[in-house]
C-alpha cells in the first residue's frame, strides 16, 4: 500500500507541473489567433484548451490609434515629402525626376505612392462626411481580403487588425470579426464612452445634499458603485441613452439611497415603471 501511494503521488506531480507551461503556450497561440493568423477552427480549439486550464483573459478588440485622423494624415504627408527630398542623388529633366540608383528609385516610388494615397484620403470629402455618420473601413493595396492589415504600418502606427475611421478618429479592431462586425464594435465603444461622459456631465455641479424637491441626492460613491455594477446601461433593455437612477422601492414608499435599492434605467423604461406603480 505504501508503494502504491508513492507511485500515484509521483505520477500526479509531474502532470501538475506541466499545466502552467502548457497554459502559457495556449495563451500565446490564442493571442496569435486573435489577430487573424489562424483560422476560426484553430482559434476555437486553442480557446477551449486555454479555458480548460482554468485561465481567463480580457479581450480588448478596439484600440484608438488617433483622435485626430486629419491631423495624423497631414503630419504623415509632410514627413513623407521631407523624406522624398532627402533621397540623393537626383536630377530633373522635362518635369521628370531621375535617380541614378535603382534602389533609390524604388524607395522614392514607394514613398510617393504612399503620399499620394494619403492625399487622396485627406481630400476626399465624401469619406469624411460618411465616416461622421457611420464607421468606414480603411484599406490600402496591402490589406488582406477580409480587410486586416496584418501588422502592416499605417505611417508610424502598426495596425494588427482592421483600420476603422469614425468621427475623425482611427481605430484598430483585432480579432475574428468581419468588416461589418468591426464597424459595429467601434460604434458600440464610442456610444458607451459618450454615454458615460454625458452621465458625468449630468451629475456635475450637484454639491447640495438635497434637490429642489427636498429629496436627498444620491451619494457619488453609491452612484459609481451602481454604474459599475450595471455596466453603464439600462438593466431592462440594454440602452445606453438617457440613463437615470431608479429606486426599486420608491422614496415615497420608504425606499433608501442604497446600492441595493438603486438600478440604472433608460428614460422610457423608467416612465413605464412609474406608470405601472402609479
**pTM (two decimals):** 0.52
Confidence of residue 14 (pLDDT cuts 50, 70, 90): very low
pLDDT of 7 over the 60 cut: no
Architecture per CATH, domain 205-277, reads as: Orthogonal Bundle (1.10)
DSSP string, the chain: -HHHHHHHHHHHHHHHHHHHHHHHHHHHHHHHHHTTSS-HHHHHHHHHHHHHTT-------EEEEES-HHHHHHHHHHHHHHHHHT--SEEEETTEEEESSHHHHHHHHHHHHHHHHHHHHHT-HHHHHHHHHS-EEE--TTS-TTSB-TTEEETTEEE-SEEEEETTEEEEE-SS--HHHHHHHHHHHHHHHHHHHHHHHHHTT--SSB-TTSPBPPPHHHHHHHHHHHTTS-TTT---SSEEEEESS-GGGT--SSGGGEEEEEHHHHHHHHHHH-
How many percent of the chain have pLDDT more than 90? 25
pLDDT at 8: 40
Mean pLDDT of 4-8: 43
For 121-180, the pLDDT digits (tens) are 999 999 999 999 999 999 887 788 888 998 888 888 889 899 999 999 999 999 888 999
pLDDT at 88: 64
pLDDT of 4 over the 60 cut: no
Mean pLDDT of 234-238: 91
For 78-137, the pLDDT digits (tens) are 988 888 777 765 555 555 655 566 777 777 788 888 888 899 999 999 999 999 999 999
For 18-70, the pLDDT digits (tens) are 445 555 655 555 555 454 444 555 555 655 665 565 554 445 689 999 999 99
Confidence of residue 6 (pLDDT cuts 50, 70, 90): very low
Mean pLDDT of 251-258: 84
pLDDT of 241 over the 80 cut: yes
Amino acid at each position: 500500500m505504501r508503494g502504491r501511494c508513492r507511485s500515484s503521488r509521483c505520477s500526479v506531480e509531474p502532470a501538475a507541473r506541466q499545466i502552467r507551461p502548457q497554459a502559457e503556450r495556449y495563451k500565446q497561440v490564442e493571442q496569435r489567433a486573435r489577430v487573424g493568423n489562424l483560422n476560426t477552427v484553430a482559434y476555437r480549439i486553442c480557446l477551449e484548451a486555454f479555458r480548460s486550464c482554468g485561465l481567463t483573459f480580457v479581450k480588448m478588440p478596439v484600440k484608438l490609434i488617433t483622435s485626430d485622423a486629419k491631423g495624423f494624415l497631414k503630419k504623415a504627408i509632410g514627413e513623407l515629402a521631407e523624406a522624398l527630398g532627402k533621397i540623393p542623388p537626383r536630377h530633373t529633366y522635362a518635369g521628370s525626376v531621375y535617380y541614378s540608383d535603382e534602389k533609390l528609385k524604388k524607395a522614392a516610388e514607394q514613398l510617393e505612392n504612399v503620399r499620394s494615397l494619403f492625399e487622396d484620403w485627406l481630400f476626399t470629402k465624401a469619406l469624411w462626411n460618411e465616416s461622421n455618420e457611420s464607421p468606414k473601413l480603411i484599406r490600402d493595396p496591402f490589406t488582406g481580403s477580409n480587410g486586416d492589415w496584418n501588422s502592416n504600418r499605417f505611417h508610424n502606427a502598426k495596425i494588427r487588425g482592421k483600420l476603422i475611421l469614425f468621427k475623425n478618429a482611427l481605430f484598430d479592431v483585432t480579432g475574428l470579426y468581419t468588416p461589418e462586425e468591426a464597424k459595429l464594435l467601434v460604434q458600440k465603444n464610442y456610444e458607451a464612452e459618450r454615454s458615460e461622459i454625458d452621465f458625468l456631465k449630468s451629475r456635475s455641479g450637484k454639491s447640495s445634499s438635497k434637490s429642489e424637491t427636498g429629496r436627498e441626492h444620491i451619494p457619488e460613491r453609491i452612484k459609481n458603485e451602481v454604474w459599475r455594477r450595471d455596466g453603464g446601461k439600462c438593466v431592462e433593455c440594454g440602452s445606453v441613452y438617457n440613463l437615470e437612477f431608479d429606486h426599486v422601492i420608491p422614496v415615497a414608499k420608504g425606499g433608501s439611497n442604497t446600492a441595493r435599492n438603486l438600478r440604472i434605467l433608460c428614460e422610457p423604461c423608467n416612465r413605464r415603471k412609474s406608470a405601472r406603480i402609479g
